[in-house]
Chain A
C-alpha cells in the first residue's frame, strides 16, 4: 500500500471500508446475534500499542482479529468540531477524571486510539528514563542501543521528523520567553506527511496527514486479511486453567453503551491486550487475573499537567497551526531530588478552554472574551521516578468500568508551584500583559514578584488547581521478577500463558516525554519477538 499524504479531498481509509475491506469490518451497533470467531491472534485495542502489534503480527502471516471499543471514523467524518469529536472519539466524552475528580484525563477511544486524536508530538524515550529503568526496575536489556533501531524504524514508517515549518505564534511565544529566560527551547518532531498546519489534530486529522494507527497500521492489517470489530468491548479473557484461549466481548450501541444481551467469543492461540494503561489493567481485573504481588493496575502514571495562562496585547490564535512544535526540557531532570517537568503548549479551542477554566460567571467570561489573546503553557510532571510520586491505581466500579484513583501528593504539589512560577515568568518575559496559574484561587498578575507572592500560598490540591493529563502509562509493568511486575521482559503475563500486554501500561514509570513513540518502539520490538515465537 502506498504512503498516505495529507489531502482533504481524499479518504483512502474510508474508501477501503466502502470497498474491499467492507466484509471484514463489523460495528457493534450492527451486530444482532451472538457469535464465535477464531484467528491466530486477538489484539484488544487499536491505539499505539495495538497498532504496531497488529501490524507486525499480520505482516508475519498470522491471522488477526482486532477489537476496538470506539467507533471506526475516517477523515470524511472529521469536521474539526469539538462538540462532535469529544463524545465520538474520546473516553467518557473527553470528561474522564480520576476517582476524586482531581485530574481530568484526555484519552482517545476510536479506531486508532489516542493516536487518532493526539497532537503528533514524538520523542524517543529519554536516555535518563531508560537508565532509571535499568538501575531501579531490572530492565537491563533496555538500552539506547537496543531501542535505537526500533525507534528509527518507527520514525521512518510514520515520517517522524522535526517540524520544518515555522512554529505558530502560540509555540513561538514559548520559544521567545524561554530564550529571554536563558533556557533552551527545541523543535518537536511530528508524525505527519504533507501536514496542512491546521491545528485541529485533537479532533481527528481531516487530511490524513497525521500518521496515526488509523492511517499507518490499519490499511496494512486489512490488506493482510485482518478482521476489525469496532464498538466492541472486551469483557474478560477466556481460558482453560492458566492458558488464555480468547476474549469474551459485547457489542456496544452507537452511544457506547454495552449490549449485554449479545455475547461474542473470539478464540485464538494468543491474546494481545493493548487497551491502554487504564483499559488493559481493567480487562485483566475483570478477568480475575492472578496478581500474587499486588502489581496489577498499580503504579499508573499520568504526567500530571498544570497550566499557566497569559494575556498578550495582540492576538495569539492558539487554535491555529501545528499545536505543538516547541518544548523546553531545562527543568526535566533537576538535581535536587524534586519531580522534574517538561514545558510545552496545548492547542486551545473554545469548548475545552471553557471547561478547563474552572470558574464561572464574570471571571470565566472575562477569560473567554480574551480567547484569541490567551497563551497557555503547560508543565508535565515526570511521575513515577520518586517515592513521593508513586502514581495511581486502576480500579473497577460496580459496572466493571475502570476508574483511576490518582492521589496528588505533596511532592507533585511542590513541582506544581515551581512550574507555575517558571511558566509565568517565561510568559512575562515573552511580553505577556498579565499571567495567572489556571487555578481557582489565582488572579492575573503583572510581575514575577507578585506571582511569587501568590504562588507561595496557592493550594496544589486538585479541587483548586486545574490538573489534567493526556498521557496514561503503567499499571502492567514489565519486570523480569514476578514480584515487581505484571509481565516479563517480553511483555508476556507472568502467571497466565498465551497472553501478552503490548501498550503503554508496560512502562514501570512515566516516560518524561509525550509517550507515543516510546509505545511504538518498545511494542514493535516485543511484537516482533512474539511473531517469531508464534511461528508467523
Chain B
C-alpha cells in the first residue's frame, strides 16, 4: 500500500535535505544561532525567534486560529505579542533535533527559493506579507500533502501555536472551561511559574 513507498521514499527526507535543495546552506552552518541577532535590541530577550521568524508566525497564526483571532488591530497585536513570547519559550523546551528542524523550516520560509519550494505559487517570490486566505490555502496544502516534510511543517506550526494559545488561561472562558480547582494549600508556596 501507499505508506510503504512514502515512508521509505519520502519521509526520511528531512527539512535538512530541503534546505540544500533551496540553496540556503548558510543557515545550516549556524544552527544554534537561531534568529537571536536582535537579542540586544530594545525589544530583546528572544531566545529562539528572530525578526523573520516572528513575521512568519504572525503570517500563519491568524489562519490557524480563525475564527477566534481578533479582528480589531490593537487586540490582535496584543494576542500576537503574547503568542510569540509563548512560542519562543515553548521552543526552548524542545529537543535539539526539533529545534533544528524548526530553524530549518523557518529559514527556508524566509527565502523566496524556499517559499517557492514549500508554498508553490501560493506565496509568490518576494511578497513579504501573506493574506489570511493564502495562509489558509498553504496550511491546507501542507496538511493534505503526501510529502512528509510538508506534513511535518504543518504539524509543527499547528502544535506549537495551538498549544500556546489554548494553554493560556485567558482563552479558557470562551470554551466554558473554568480552569483547575483551587485547593487549600496552607503554607505551601503556590506562586506558580517554572523554576530552575
State the A residues within 8 Å of B (CB): 8-11, 27, 29, 75-77, 79-84, 86-88, 92-93, 95, 99-101, 196, 198, 200, 206-207, 254-257, 315, 319, 350-351, 353-355, 357-362, 364-365, 368-369, 371-372, 397-399, 401, 403, 407-408, 410, 440, 461, 463
Residue of A9, A93, A359 touching B94 (CB-CB under 8 A): A93
Q: Which residues of B contact A353 (CB under 8 A)?
A: 166
Tell whether, in the assembled complex, residue B175 and residue A369 are in contact, meaning their CB atoms are under 8 Å apart: yes
Tell whether, in the assembled complex, residue B159 and residue A355 are in contact, meaning their CB atoms are under 8 Å apart: yes
Closest-CB distance, B54 to chain A (whole angstroms): 20
Closest-CB distance, A275 to chain B (whole angstroms): 15
Binds A, one of B20-28, B70-78, B115-123, B148-156: B148-156
Tell whether, in the assembled complex, residue B158 and residue A8 are in contact, meaning their CB atoms are under 8 Å apart: no
Q: 6 tightest CB-CB pairs across the interface, nearest first?
A: A9-B186, A83-B167, A80-B180, A87-B93, A354-B166, A8-B183
Closest-CB distance, B68 to chain A (whole angstroms): 6
Q: Which residues of A contact B159 (CB under 8 A)?
A: 95, 355
Closest-CB distance, B20 to chain A (whole angstroms): 15
25 contacts between A and B (CB under 8 A): A29-B196, A76-B185, A79-B180, A83-B86, A83-B164, A84-B194, A86-B163, A87-B93, A95-B98, A99-B11, A198-B181, A315-B176, A319-B177, A350-B172, A351-B163, A360-B66, A361-B136, A365-B65, A365-B66, A368-B166, A369-B174, A371-B176, A399-B95, A461-B2, A463-B148
Q: State in angstroms the CA–CA spacing of A207 and B180 once bound together.
A: 13
Q: Which residues of B contact A101 (CB under 8 A)?
A: 11, 148, 151-152, 155
Closest-CB distance, A297 to chain B (whole angstroms): 17
Q: Is B126's CB within 8 Å of the partner chain A?
A: no
Counting chain B residues whose Cβ lies within 8 A of the other chain, the interface size class is 35 or more
Q: A84-B194, A93-B90, A360-B63 are in contact. Are A440 and B143 (CB under 8 A)?
A: yes
Closest-CB distance, B93 to chain A (whole angstroms): 4
Q: State in angstroms the CA–CA spacing of A162 and B78 once bound together.
A: 48
Q: Which residues of A contact B86 (CB under 8 A)?
A: 83
Closest-CB distance, B186 to chain A (whole angstroms): 3
Q: Which residue of B lies closest to A200 (CB)?
A: B180
State the B residues within 8 Å of A (CB): 1-3, 7, 11, 63-68, 86, 90, 92-98, 136, 139, 143-144, 148, 151-152, 155, 158-159, 162-169, 171-172, 174-177, 180-181, 183-190, 192-196
Residue of B7, B90, B183, B187 touching A87 (CB-CB under 8 A): B90
Besides A9-B185, A29-B196, A463-B148, 15 other A-B contacts (C-beta < 8 A): A9-B188, A92-B94, A93-B90, A95-B94, A101-B148, A255-B92, A319-B177, A350-B167, A351-B162, A351-B167, A360-B63, A368-B175, A369-B174, A401-B95, A410-B1
Q: Which residue of B lies closest to A77 (CB)?
A: B195
Closest-CB distance, A511 to chain B (whole angstroms): 26
Closest-CB distance, A216 to chain B (whole angstroms): 20
Q: State in angstroms the CA–CA spacing of A334 and B163 once bound together.
A: 38
Q: State in angstroms the CA–CA spacing of A315 and B177 once bound together.
A: 11
Q: Which residues of A contact B63 (CB under 8 A)?
A: 360-361
Q: Which residues of B contact A440 (CB under 8 A)?
A: 143-144
Tell whether, in the assembled complex, residue B194 and residue A88 are in contact, meaning their CB atoms are under 8 Å apart: yes
Q: Which residues of A contact B177 (CB under 8 A)?
A: 319, 350, 371-372
Residue of A92, A357, A407 touching B7 (CB-CB under 8 A): A407
Q: Which residue of A lies closest to B92 (CB)?
A: A255
Q: Which residues of A contact B2 (CB under 8 A)?
A: 461
Q: Which residue of B lies closest to A255 (CB)?
A: B92
Tell whether, in the assembled complex, residue B3 and residue A92 are in contact, meaning their CB atoms are under 8 Å apart: no
Residue of B65, B144, B163, B185 touching A355 (CB-CB under 8 A): B163
Q: Which residues of B contact A88 (CB under 8 A)?
A: 194
Q: Which residues of A contact B195 (CB under 8 A)?
A: 77, 254
Q: Which residues of A contact B136 (CB under 8 A)?
A: 360-361
Tell whether, in the assembled complex, residue A81 and residue B97 are in contact, meaning their CB atoms are under 8 Å apart: no
